[in-house]
A and B are shown apart, each in its own frame.
Chain A
């Protein structure tokens, strides 16, 4: 659906985006993550035709952004970091303006206002909206023409926790409806919850792209096993060290770090040791750990 082919953007000697190639499949939510200045926003702007590439191409549904920009943008809804369009116009007027540009009937404006629960503020000037409501207006603008793909730039950065939760719920609904979503964010917890795949950018370069479990496997990062014990003797970490796992006690919970390949052997050791296990659960490495590992590698 969205393709970047060896795309680059240079400002003098600075390479904001450097030879990036990636494909976002139809119906997929791909998250762009990276430190500040990694090139996430520049990549989105290249896709929207807001900036011209120094080399390479970007296309949406087969339409080249440089040569057939209007057709490419017709496939996209865009939610920027600063979502409000015209502050002096009301919420309904902002949407009606965009609807007119897309030649949509006014009924569509009413539908989107209802969908985004903006009825109560529909007649208010957009500049008076709170951060969360302005973000909902931004998403309403992006969804107005019902495009097959959405481009979201740091959509949750200025939202309170409640708004973040409802925003994530909305994204899941849109994913369920088959929308292709390209999301830029540095809030890794949100990305871990939502993304089908993650593309990690560093200094303008794409250093990794895959699903989170595949990235974790590639990094060989240890998994965490949390073992809640009915009684603690204090010898448990030593017992697990003999099975090749690093462990420490945290109250009545044994925190075990184990490389993925040794996980079955460590679980066997735990069971054979006859420990009074009350609960046991394991968690994959966090996206934050993966991100730090890969960015650390790229820096060296």
Chain B
């Protein structure tokens, strides 16, 4: 089974590279990182390139918007297009288990995303290192790793949507709704919760809401590490105090892993049960 998974993953990666998706995304990430590195210094009245930490903070919000959207579009298009164009029909007529198709696609898409992120942010990182002389790239690297984790979660979610929906259009509609809800709408929900609850109930509620959205998970984890969480209110400070510790960090990682694994198995289950009609 694992051999089949690897073969399908390799094919998926080849298709992603040939379709120039990887190149476009990598270019976009590089462009954004470099633009923010240069603009970051201009905004404080200086010429040159901002360091890695400053660039990472500036990039965070863009990453939180872009990576989930790209991962959703990539995974939904890949699965739904293959179904609608008939390739999946031929693939499933081979002596392979259906779950290997989902796992293989997931691995291939993950590799494509990794190349786009590493290629894009990596090339921008080289320019920052050479032009700014900054060698402390830890914050910047962690941002890339977190972006990848976030991308994996949304690839799993995208595959689940594609495997559960009857058409590409329907899957894309659900995907865009999911992106809008998790990236934009969710924060309004959190603000609403803070108005309704107080004290320890609010802290519990914030903790639960944080775990329930992979975008917020990555945002909070990044802000804690980059020192941007210091401007939060008292309750949020208490929560962040807990998350800063080893147990809190482990909880954040486990929650993100759950966001990667649970939707992936949801996709495997939906794919295994569906009828592939013309």
Residues of A within 8 A of B (CB): 41-42, 45, 48-52, 69-71, 73-74, 76, 78, 80-89, 93, 97-98, 100-103, 141, 151
- Residue of A whose beta carbon sits closest to that of B4: A101
Query: Given known contacts A80-B86, A141-B90, is B11 in contact with A50 (CB within 8 Å)?
Result: no
Cβ-defined contact, A51 with B276, below 8 A: yes
* CB within 8 Å of A: which B71-115 residues: 85-87, 89-97
User: How distant is the Cα of A86 from the Cα of B278 in the complex, in angstroms?
Assistant: 17
* Residue contact B277 to A70, C-beta cutoff 8 Å: no
B109 to chain A, nearest CB (A): 15
Chain B's interface size range is: 20 to 34
B90–A80 touching, CB < 8 Å: yes
Q: How far, in whole Å, are A51 and B90 apart by their CA atoms in the complex?
A: 13
Report chain B residues within 8 Å CB of A76: 93
Q: B231 contacts the other chain (Cβ, under 8 Å)?
A: no
Cβ of B14 under 8 Å from chain A: yes
Complex: A82 Cα to B89 Cα, angstroms: 9
Tell whether A89 pairs with B14 under 8 Å between CB atoms, given A41-B278, A80-B90, A101-B7.
Answer: yes
Is B247 in the interface zone, CB < 8 Å from A?
Answer: no
Complex A-B: 9 CB contacts under 8 Å: A45-B277, A48-B93, A85-B90, A86-B87, A88-B18, A89-B11, A97-B7, A101-B4, A101-B7
Minimal beta-carbon separation of A35 from chain B (angstroms) = 16
Is the CB–CB distance between B97 and A70 below 8 Å?
A: yes
Interface string of B1-42 (1 = CB under 8 A from A): 001100110010011001100000000000000000000000
In the bound assembly, the distance between CA atoms of A255 and B253 in angstroms comes to 85
- Out of A82, A98, A151, name the residue touching B94 (CB < 8 Å): A98
Decide if A82 touches B93 in the complex (CB within 8 Å).
Answer: no
* Contact with A71, one of B18, B90, B95, B276 (Cβ below 8 angstroms): B95
> B94 and A45: CB pair below 8 A?
no
Please give 11 more A-B residue pairs, beta carbons under 8 A apart, in addition to A48-B93, A80-B93, A97-B7.
A52-B275, A69-B95, A71-B95, A74-B95, A78-B90, A80-B89, A84-B86, A84-B87, A85-B90, A88-B15, A101-B4
Question: Within 8 Å CB of A80, what residues of B?
Answer: 86, 89-90, 93
Question: How distant is the Cα of A74 from the Cα of B275 in the complex, in angstroms?
Answer: 20
B18 to chain A, nearest CB (A): 5
The reply to whether B276 and A50 form a contact with Cβ atoms under 8 Å apart is: yes
Contact present for A50 and B94 (CB under 8 Å): no
Cβ proximity bits B260-278 to A, threshold 8 Å, 1 near / 0 not:
0000000000000001111
Q: Please state if B11 and A97 are interface contacts (CB–CB under 8 Å).
A: yes
Chain A residues with Cβ under 8 A from B94's Cβ? Answer: 73, 98, 101-102
> How close is A67's CB to chain B, nearest CB, in angstroms?
13
In whole angstroms, how far apart are the Cα atoms of A80 and B87 in the complex?
A: 10
Chain B residues near A69: list those with CB within 8 A: 95
Q: Which residue of A lies closest to B8 (CB)?
A: A101
Residue of A nearest to B6 (CB): A100
With a CB–CB cut-off of 8 A, which chain A residues contact B87? 84-86
Q: Which 3 A-B pairs have the closest CB atoms?
A: A82-B86, A78-B93, A51-B275
A42 to B277, CA, bound (A): 8
CA distance A139 to B159 in the complex (A): 30
Within 8 A of A (CB), among B91-147: 91-97
Nearest residue (CB) in A for B11 is A97
Residues from chain B with Cβ under 8 Å of A141 in the complex: 90
Q: A45-B276, A52-B275 are in contact. Are A89 and B93 (CB under 8 A)?
A: no
With a cutoff of 8 Å between Cβ atoms, the chain B residues found around residue A41 in the complex are 278
B1 and chain A: residue at smallest CB distance = A70
Kindly report which residue of chain A lies nearest to residue B7, judged by CB atoms.
Answer: A100
Contact B15 A86 (CB under 8 A): yes
Task: Please indicate the chain A residues that have their CB under 8 angstroms from the CB of B275 in the complex.
Answer: 50-52
Q: Residues of A contacting B8 with CB < 8 Å?
A: 101
State which residues 176-217 of B face A: CB under 8 Å: none
Distance, CA A100 to CA B8, complexed state (A):
10
- Residue of B4, B15, B94, B96 contacting most chain A CB atoms (<10 Å): B94
* Residues on the A chain within 8 Å of B277, using CB: 42, 45, 50-51
Closest A residue, CB atoms, query B17: A88
Chain B residues with CB below 8 A from A48, complex form: 92-93
CA distance A246 to B164 in the complex (A): 61
If A82-B85, A82-B86 touch, does A50 touch B93 (CB 8 Å cutoff)?
yes
Complexed CA–CA distance, A97 and B89 (Å): 15
Chain A residue nearest to B3 in the complex (CB): A103
* Minimal beta-carbon separation of A25 from chain B (angstroms): 22
A42 to B90, CA, bound (A): 15
Please name all residues of chain A whose beta carbon is closer than 8 Å to the beta carbon of B92 when the two chains form the complex.
48-50
Question: Which residues of chain A come closer than 8 Å to B86, judged between CB atoms?
Answer: 80-82, 84
